[in-house]
Structure 1
Amino acid sequence: MTHSNNTALSVNLNKIALIRNSRPGNYPNVLTHGEICINAGADGITVHPRPDQRHIRPHDVYELSELVSNYPGIEFNIEGNPFAESIADFPGFLKLVCNTKPHQCTLVPDTNHQLTSDHGFDLHRSGKSLQPVIKQLKDFGIRVCLFMDPDIEQITLAKALGADRIELYTGPYAEAFKTPGASFDRLFEKYLSAAGHAQSIGIGVNAGHDLNLDNLGYFRKIPALLEVSIGHALTVDAINMGLSSAVKTYKAICTS
């Protein structure tokens, strides 16, 4: 089994913002660190604004959108719960997306107070409510990606709703990777089958969650993997090796 062609690396800046928000002021500066990532070879920037604003805040979304517009070929990806409503200083997820018009919007079924995204959509339950959201985003010229488990039936439903891509939730893969064996092999086969099915019906495949320097290379055995979004592990590695070096190291895996 061979690796896919180059996979785009989108760096999630949430944890940079989380550190900034732990103190008054603007240190570390999210915009500056986004530019470091781009200059180090990142193909895109990802943010996941949440209503509680524990990391990325609305002003970050606007400023990063403007930053990315100065770098042709670099993509801006906003991910989050499409039904996150306006509360306090949060204008609502869809309003943020439609105002900034990112290249890609990755819709994620997390709740307002969820620690992190930990499952894909069940489109039997949420498909009807998602359909007008997907149409609205596509009418703005935004590529729509749905956060999904490696479930062939669900991916077929994603296609019917008009999604352009799926982002495979790789949390279970990352956990299973720690203990190689038959159960890991069976799980990885599910990811291979899900990705192959998506591609066969015309949906692009992204991936993200808990991917790191240890497990990313193996996951790239999935053919035609278009993009990975990595934030937490890359930020942790940046503490040890510096942000620019961390981005370059992940980028090297994505292009090997």
Structure 2
Amino acid sequence: MTKLSVNINKIATLRNARGGNNPDVTQVALDAERFGAEGITVHPRPDERHIRYDDVMKLKEVVTTEFNIEGYPDERFMEIIRIVKPAQATLVPDPPNVLTSNSGWDTIAHQDRLKDIIAELHEYGTRTSIFINPEVKYFEPAKLTGTDRVELYTEPYAVLFPNDKEQAVAPYIEVAKLAQDLGLGLNAGHDLDLDNLKFLIQRIPHIDEVSIGHALICDALYYGLENTIQMYRRQLEMD
């Protein structure tokens, strides 16, 4: 079954808006695991507008499920991975000033650089995943970087889904098959929610992991965190 990794960036955003330590990011991570999350994801940006360096170090000591750290692989990010040695490092191509990740890697243009970065990450015993657009041309070059997995950038799917589900998922089915043929593990994330998640998993059942934050935390405002995590877990179950 596809695993659910809960991105807790928005918990840190809420805390930072007021100062202090409410909500407690570390406690929320522990509770999310207790409520059924099979992984915890963070994306520590250089400006620390949500997850802070100190948060990552504290989470290192307590997360017992898979710890996934996302980010642009600059010197600061690589230092964090070297110290924490998380289960997975997800490489995203966005520069520090963007609001959120909005595109995948050009694995053709950046293949050599990614190869060097991934080789270093493997020295730390960390599984690697590359954030990638659902375009066939990027997948064989991704394989050549040595990455363990690719993470499908699913915002285009989420945007088109309300109007045409089949058209929305079609390019993802194609590249998911290619990833499988190439021996690449498959993750997915960005704008997945309770409306569009189950359909994606039904059409691509071999997705290893989804990372969900914004929508899940928004839903938790209405349904509560424990119930919401269980609702997302149910979307990942195959009928």
TM-score w.r.t. structure 2 length?
0.97
Decide which of 228, 234, 241 is 2:216's aligned counterpart: 234
Cα drift, residue 47 of structure 1 = 0.2
Cα drift, residue 167 of structure 1 = 0.3
In the alignment, residue 169 of structure 2 is paired with which amino acid? F
5+ residue gaps, structure 1, are 1-5, 86-91
**Residues 94-123 of structure 1: per-residue CA shift (max 9 Å, x gap):** 101110000000000011010000100001
Match of 2:50 in 1: 55
Matches within 5 A, 1:1-256: 6-68=1-63, 71=64, 74-83=65-74, 85=75, 92-180=76-164, 184-220=165-201, 221-256=203-238
5+ residue gaps, structure 2, are none
The separation in 2 between residues aligned to 1:32 and 1:186, in whole angstroms, is 40
Alignment: residue pair count: 237
Cα drift, residue 36 of structure 1 = 1.1
SS of residue in 1 equivalent to 2:67: strand
Cα drift, residue 223 of structure 1 = 2.7
In the alignment, residue 166 of structure 2 is paired with which amino acid? D
SS of residue in 1 equivalent to 2:100: coil
In the alignment, residue 165 of structure 1 is paired with which amino acid? R
SS of residue in 2 equivalent to 1:116: coil
Cα drift, residue 35 of structure 1 = 0.9
Cα drift, residue 125 of structure 1 = 1.9
TM-score w.r.t. structure 1 length?
0.90
Cα drift, residue 255 of structure 1 = 2.3
Tell me the C-alpha RMSD between the 2 structures: 1.0
Cα drift, residue 66 of structure 1 = 1.1
Percent identical residues: 46
Match of 1:88 in 2: none
The separation in 1 between residues aligned to 2:169 and 2:20, in whole angstroms, is 44
The separation in 2 between residues aligned to 1:65 and 1:215, in whole angstroms, is 31
**4+ residue segments displaced more than 4 Å:** none
